[in-house]
C-alpha cells in the first residue's frame, strides 16, 4: 500500500486517497483515507463534499487515517450557519458584500461550532450529512443517509435523521484496548504483516502485538 498513490487500486478509478487531492490548508486528511464515488468524479471530493468552507471562518475539517467515505457524503462547515438571535436570519452582509459596512461585525456574531473532527478507521455511509463542529470517534460507523448533528463516541454505530445509537461494535473493555493500541498509527509494514488479526475479531491478539 502506498498512501501517495491517487488510486489505491488502479482497476478502481472511482476510489481515491483523499489526501492526494486536497488543496485547502484547512482540510487535513490522514493517510489511506479514501472516498468512493461510483460516478468516477472522485477527484472532486473537496468541491462536492465540503460545503460552505470559507477561509474567513477559519474552521478545519480534520479526518483521520484509514477512513472509508461513501458517495455523496457532505461535510457542512460553519459558514452555512445563520444567526438565530437576530431579527432576521437572512444573510444580508453575505449577499450585499462590500455594499455594507457591518460585514465584519456580522461575521463575528454568526454561530461557529469549531472544527469538524473525524477519528481514525471511521466508516461514513453514502449520502450522509455531517454538520459543523461534530466530533466522530475512532472506529465509529455512520449509516447511509444519516444526519450527524451531535458527537459520536468511538466504535459506535449510529444511523438516522437525527442519528440514534444502534449499538456498540465491541464491549467497553475491548474498545479501551483498541483505543490504547491505535493500530492505525503503526507503520504500514506492521499493519500488513498483521492483517489476519486486524481483519479478525479477537482483540486480545491485537493487544499482544
How confident is the model over 83-94, as pLDDT tens digits?
Answer: 888 888 887 777
| 99, pLDDT greater than 70 | no
Return the pLDDT at 104.
Answer: 63
Mean pLDDT of 142-153: 98
Return the pLDDT at 28.
Answer: 97
Using one digit for the tens of pLDDT, what is the confidence trace for 100-144? Answer: 565 666 666 777 889 999 999 999 999 999 999 999 999 999 999
Using one digit for the tens of pLDDT, what is the confidence trace for 4-44? Answer: 887 787 777 788 899 998 999 999 999 999 998 877 677 88
Q: Which domains does the chain have, with CATH numbers?
A: 15-169 (2.160.10.10), 170-209 (no CATH)
C-alpha 112/C-alpha 52 separation (Å) is 12
Return the pLDDT at 97.
Answer: 66
Return the C-alpha cell found at 21.
487531492
Q: Percent of the chain beyond pLDDT 70?
A: 93
Q: Percent of the chain beyond pLDDT 90?
A: 64
Return the pLDDT at 81.
Answer: 83
Mean pLDDT of 70-88: 89
Which one of the listed residues 7, 53, 82, 135 is annotated catalytic? 82
Return the pLDDT at 103.
Answer: 61
Query: Is 7 a known active-site residue?
Result: no
Cut 0.85: pTM above it: yes
Return the pLDDT at 108.
Answer: 67
| 187, pLDDT greater than 90 | yes
Of 110-119, 154-163, 189-198, the range with the lowest mean pLDDT is 110-119
Amino acid at each position: 500500500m502506498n498512501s501517495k498513490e491517487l488510486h489505491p487500486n488502479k482497476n478502481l478509478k472511482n476510489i481515491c486517497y483523499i489526501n492526494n487531492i486536497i488543496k485547502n490548508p484547512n482540510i487535513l486528511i490522514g493517510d489511506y483515507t479514501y472516498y468512493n464515488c461510483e460516478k468516477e468524479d472522485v477527484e472532486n471530493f473537496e468541491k462536492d463534499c465540503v460545503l460552505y468552507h470559507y477561509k474567513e471562518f477559519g474552521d478545519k475539517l480534520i479526518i483521520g487515517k484509514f477512513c472509508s467515505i461513501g458517495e455523496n457524503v457532505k461535510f457542512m462547515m460553519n459558514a452555512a450557519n445563520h444567526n438565530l438571535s437576530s431579527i432576521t436570519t437572512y444573510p444580508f452582509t453575505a449577499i450585499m458584500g462590500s455594499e455594507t459596512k457591518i460585514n465584519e461585525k456580522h461575521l463575528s456574531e454568526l454561530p461557529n461550532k469549531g472544527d469538524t473532527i473525524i477519528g481514525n478507521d471511521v466508516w461514513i455511509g453514502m449520502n450522509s450529512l455531517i454538520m459543523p463542529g461534530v466530533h466522530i470517534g475512532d472506529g465509529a460507523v455512520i449509516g447511509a443517509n444519516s444526519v450527524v448533528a451531535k458527537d459520536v463516541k468511538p466504535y459506535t454505530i449510529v444511523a438516522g435523521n437525527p442519528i440514534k445509537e444502534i449499538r456498540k461494535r465491541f464491549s467497553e473493555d475491548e474498545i479501551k484496548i483498541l483505543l490504547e493500541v491505535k493500530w492505525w498509527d503503526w507503520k504500514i509494514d506492521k499493519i500488513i504483516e498483521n492483517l489476519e488479526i486486524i481483519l479478525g475479531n479477537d482483540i486480545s491478539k491485537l493487544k499482544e502485538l
